[in-house]
Chains A and B, each alone.
Chain A
Amino acid sequence: MSALLEVEDLRVRYATRRGSLMAVDGVSFSLHAGRTLGLVGESGCGKSSLGKAIMRIVDPHSGAIRLDGVDIGRLSGRHLRPHRRRFQMVFQDPAASLDPRQRIRRALEEPLAVHGRGDRSERRDRVREVMAQVGLHPEMADRLPHEFSGGQRQRIAIARALMLEPSLIVCDEPVSALDVSLQAQILNLLADLQASRGIAYLFISHDLSVVQHLADRIAVMYLGQIVEIADRAALWRSPAHPYTQALIAAVPRMAPERRGLDRTRLLPGDLPAPQDPPPGCRFAGRCPFATRLCREQAPRLAEIAPGHAVACHLHTAPDAAPGGAAAPSLPHFLQKDTVQ
């Protein structure tokens, strides 16, 4: 089965005052129709830039973005426009992604008008239909965005993304601007829509526990690169990259014997400057297991189990970690099920 979305060696470069930086540096992955790929990483790791490049809000520097075999990374202007209806986006903050002066009906009809879909009454019907789908009363269509609550606004933003019946929706932190009680509602809505419409999601979040709810596969990004990608269960059960392990250790859990965060597992330091990434592994400066090899030579993403790839010398360099995926060289405190 060929993938709906295939991203190959994608790079996104920004020119800044301190020199140019590669926000996304050689990212490859594929996403099948009707599935969800979760993309996690801390702020500034390039996950939003990756999402924006796929949405063609920013132009990719190099690489390919193939949607059903068509390289949408190379199309532009009016050649790209007809393809746009197939991939839509839900933004982080619905207060910012909806035009404050535009009534909901206009906002929802806009995609139809742009793509010349239907006449007036057909568009009205479609607005009613989609509003009902996302759990909004169609009678609210004549209100302005500020008359809605945050959760309702995110439903409107989702409705707008659904108007053109896309096969892929890029969700960029769609619940991080919402209260925790609303996060679950929106995540359930997204899951229901996926079940009924077969939409694929690229779900970007800094929060592993949110991604966990929805994703079939999870990719972990660090400083512009994917450091580990695996099926959800495999990643959660046996995280291979020290960074993934640290991320999972930082997820708060409901367990009476482990209240609060275990400080010893938190990573020291910040992301290195993206203008001048270190020569070897980009994580080496914060990694408790970094060797000289790590500081000198960048590891490549390599499969350590079927469907589970990691970019870390501990697993791929023969002399560094003889145990491979099991990684017995890791100290016990980083193995997930340890209770201290």
Chain B
Amino acid sequence: MSLSTPTHGGMPGGILQRLMRTPGLRRLRGSRALLVGLLLLAAVVAVALSAGLLYPGDPRDMAGPAGTWPGIDARFPLGTDMLGRDMAAAMAHSAGTSLTVGIAAATLALLVGIAAGVLAGYFGGAVDDVLMRISELFQTMPSLLFTIILVVILGPTTASISFAIGITAWPQIARLVRAEAVRVRRLDYVDAAVTLGMGHGRIVLLHVLPNSLAPVVVAASILVAQAILSDASLSFLGLGDPNGMSWGSMVGAGRPMLRTAWYMTALPGGAIFLTVMGFMLIGNGLNDLLNPRTPVR
């Protein structure tokens, strides 16, 4: 089956199966957004994984003269900051933090959101009302403000920041999954499962859940991008983990030097931009790939 063939009523198929059935990943090249996104992500992951090897020391140690511009000193290709710390080392070590927070927060939001959404959509009625009112409670508050409050209460560690970002992001996933579950719940194969004598648990896990996840794939990568951005905002405001480096805190720290040494903010800012764009492109690319009927943008 060619991926460009419109499928029955938006029938979701396994993404991996679809990708693997594609000869030579032709479709992948067809979606330039996905390819560029994956390359960006691969670069960030590579930097994050090799940070310890390339820069074995503590990136917070003073390494050379303060305020060296990039390209002046061969030892510091990206220069040094106002305390003489190696910008390249700090940037590399920060990549891991950003990815960890982004993925951990997105995972939490996905788990809570998918569970709430599928239960609300399948059972409807009172379950739906309660779960959706709770999700509205989260959605009516500005999520960054809510995240800040949680981080202040829980203390700034990587785990608590991930938790705070994830727990404020789940309602959007829940709504997405709920809409799909409501659609799937009305299909004949769910009625067929009822007539076979399957209980609610089995029907939800075996039929409703797998058939409600198609839109989540796209949303998940955008969620990671949002989480990374939220983490950067928190760190910029000085609410990040004080024991770790992050791009957000580097931007925050470089802010006073913006007029004299703009590279101190521009470099980590650019890293955030590229990483977030990478995930966004993956999301858009997957959307093109999985919903071939969407008109070309």
Residues of A within 8 A of B (CB): 52, 55-57, 80-82, 84-85, 87-89, 91-93, 95-102, 110-111, 114-115, 146, 157, 160, 164
Contact = CB atoms under 8 A, between A and B. Distances in A.
Given A91-B188, A99-B189, A111-B197, 14 more contacts: A55-B194, A57-B194, A84-B196, A85-B197, A91-B191, A100-B12, A100-B13, A101-B12, A101-B210, A110-B193, A111-B196, A114-B197, A146-B7, A146-B11
20 contacts: A56-B195, A80-B197, A81-B197, A82-B197, A85-B197, A88-B196, A89-B192, A91-B192, A96-B189, A97-B188, A100-B11, A101-B13, A102-B206, A110-B206, A111-B196, A114-B196, A114-B197, A146-B1, A146-B7, A157-B192
Contact of A99 (B13, B14, B211): B211
B183 to A, nearest CB: 12
Contacts of A80: 197
B8 interface: yes
Given A100-B8, A100-B11, A101-B12, A160 B192 contact: yes
Contacts, number: 73
Nearest to B200: A77
Instruction: Give the residue among A55, A85, A97, A102 with the most B Cβ atoms within 10 A.
Output: A97
Contacts of A87: 195
A57 B191 contact: yes
B198 A114 contact: yes
A131 B194 CA distance: 22
B9 to A, nearest CB: 8
B202 A114 contact: yes
B207 interface: yes
Nearest to B210: A101
B20 to A, nearest CB: 14
Interface string B192-218: 111111110010001100110000000
B196 A110 contact: yes
B127 interface: no
Contacts of B188: 91-93, 96-97
Interface string B159-199: 00000000000000000000000000001110111111111
A204 to B, nearest CB: 14
Contacts of A115: 197
A101 B14 CA distance: 8
A80 B14 CA distance: 34
A93 B197 CA distance: 20
Interface residues of B, number: 24
A175 to B, nearest CB: 15
Instruction: Give the residue among B187, B193, B196, B206 with the most A Cβ atoms within 10 A.
Output: B196
Nearest to A98: B189
B127 to A, nearest CB: 17
Nearest to B1: A146
A88 B198 contact: no
Interface string B16-42: 000000000000000000000000000
B2 to A, nearest CB: 13
Tell me whether chain A's interface is mostly helix, strand or loop, or mixed: mixed
B197 A84 contact: yes
Nearest to B189: A99
A89 B197 contact: no
A146 B206 CA distance: 18
Contact of B195 (A57, A92, A98): A57
Interface string B68-93: 00000000000000000000000000
A57 B187 CA distance: 12
Contacts of B13: 100-101
Contacts of B207: 99, 102
A95 B189 CA distance: 9
Contacts of A92: 188
Contacts of A157: 192
A97 B206 CA distance: 14
Contacts of A85: 197
A249 to B, nearest CB: 32
Nearest to B186: A96
Contacts of A88: 195-196
A110 B198 contact: yes
A102 B203 CA distance: 13
Contacts of A84: 195-197
Nearest to B11: A100
A94 to B, nearest CB: 9
Contacts of A100: 8, 11-13, 211
A129 to B, nearest CB: 18
A162 B193 CA distance: 14
A297 B112 CA distance: 58
A146 B8 contact: yes
A267 B74 CA distance: 92
Contacts of A97: 188-189, 191-192
A108 B58 CA distance: 59
Nearest to B208: A99
A84 B194 CA distance: 9
A89 B195 contact: yes
B8 A95 contact: yes
A178 to B, nearest CB: 15
B216 to A, nearest CB: 15
Contacts of B196: 84, 88, 110-111, 114, 160, 164
Contacts of A81: 197, 199
A164 B198 CA distance: 13
Given A84-B197, A114-B198, A115-B197, A101 B191 contact: no
Contacts of B211: 99-101
A164 B211 CA distance: 26
A42 B278 CA distance: 55
Contacts of B12: 100-101
